[in-house]
Amino acid sequence: MRSFASPLAAFLALSVLVNGTIAQGNSSSDAVGASPVFSDVPPVGVADPYVIAAITQKLALYDIAIDTKNFSALSGTFTTDVAPNVALVPIKGLAAYEAFLQADLAGKRTKHTTDTVFVSNIEPYTAQSISYSDAVYFGRGSALGQQFTFYERFDDVWSKDKVDGSWKISERSLIFFGVAGNRTALSAEQVEGLIKAGLLLP
């Protein structure tokens, strides 16, 4: 099995496997390729405003938890047996996912924003969502004032707890649209991972 220098390099390499190449342009199918969870145009189905609001709140909780490095708060968004498809190295369970994110974000200042959420296939105890996320990394030291942004899409499957009625992610897939910004905001290891993944020019 191929080894990677960091969690970042691992999931960037995965994005290239999913997408083939990072295409230019505005077409959803061109930018992200085939989704492991959805077709390019997911079915709308019945829109339940309460479910949509609950899921949107949980996605916001994810952003806040990882930016504040409060990784234990992720238990509010993910099931304990979640198996996120975000790295070449298999991740099984919430504890492993927390450890993965903690290692990737150690020592970094970030701002994650979920700005588009589409919820579909709502059933009594399951639902699906597509969300777009911008992950901004802020430079430090001599790179203070610089920033670098990852443009991402998450395809999630949700499960409703039959006891307390809360919605949590049981399956997650990550797909990259692309990246942009000043690479001085990143560590040398991050830049190397992006170049190897085909997301940055040498």
| Whether this model's pTM surpasses 0.85 | no
Measured in degrees and rounded to the nearest 5, phi and psi for residue 156 equal: -120, 145
- The structure tokens listed for 32 are 């992200």
**1, part of any domain:** no
Question: Which domain covers residue 172, as residue numbers?
Answer: 7-196
- The structure tokens listed for 184 are 């001085």
Residue 198: predicted pLDDT: 84
Beta bridge mates, 36 = none
**2, part of any domain:** no
**124, part of any domain:** yes
Residue 80: predicted pLDDT: 96
CATH of the domain at 118: 3.10.450.50
pLDDT tens for the chain, 202 residues: list them. Answer: 333 344 454 444 444 333 333 333 333 444 433 454 555 555 555 678 999 999 999 999 999 999 999 999 999 999 999 999 887 678 999 999 999 999 889 889 999 999 999 999 999 999 999 999 999 999 989 899 999 999 999 999 999 999 999 999 999 999 989 999 999 999 888 888 888 888 889 8
**202, part of any domain:** no
- As for how many domains the chain has, the answer is 1
**94, part of any domain:** yes
Residue 197: predicted pLDDT: 81
**100, part of any domain:** yes
Query: Taking CA 20 as the corner, what is the angle to CA 19 and CA 21, rounded to the nearest 5 degrees?
Result: 90
**201, part of any domain:** no
Query: Taking CA 181 as the corner, what is the angle to CA 179 and CA 187, rounded to the nearest 5 degrees?
Result: 90
**127, part of any domain:** yes
Residue 38: predicted pLDDT: 55
